[in-house]
Amino acid sequence: MTNNDIFKKLRVALKLRDDEIVKILELVDFRITKSELGAFFRKEDHPKYMECGDQILRNFLNGLVIHLRGPMPKKEIKQPTTNKPLKK
């Protein structure tokens, strides 16, 4: 199964439109146009077909996590504590 197949199946299963996919990719600062995106969903024998690389699929999946769950909360930085008594 290729990355294009995975991308197509996720698009259909989640009922996503091209503009929604573009917005999901923007959540992870990955810019793509609708026409570039459409090239991934064409048949392999089409002259404008483009193979979906690992980077694009990875960014889509990371953006999808943010889209569905929301952004990850910031972690609080704890100050190191010492067990030494304070000097007077």
* Cα–Cα dist 10/21, whole Å: 11
| Burial 2-12, CB ≥16 within 10 A → b, else e | ebbeebeeebe
pLDDT along the chain (88 residues), means of 10: 94 95 94 93 93 94 92 75 66
pLDDT at 46: 94
Of the candidates 53, 68, 63, 55, the one whose C-alpha atom is nearest the C-alpha of residue 22 is 63
- pTM (2 d.p.): 0.77
Question: Taking the domains of the chain in order of start, what are their residue ranges?
Answer: 3-69
As a whole number, the mean pLDDT across the chain is 89
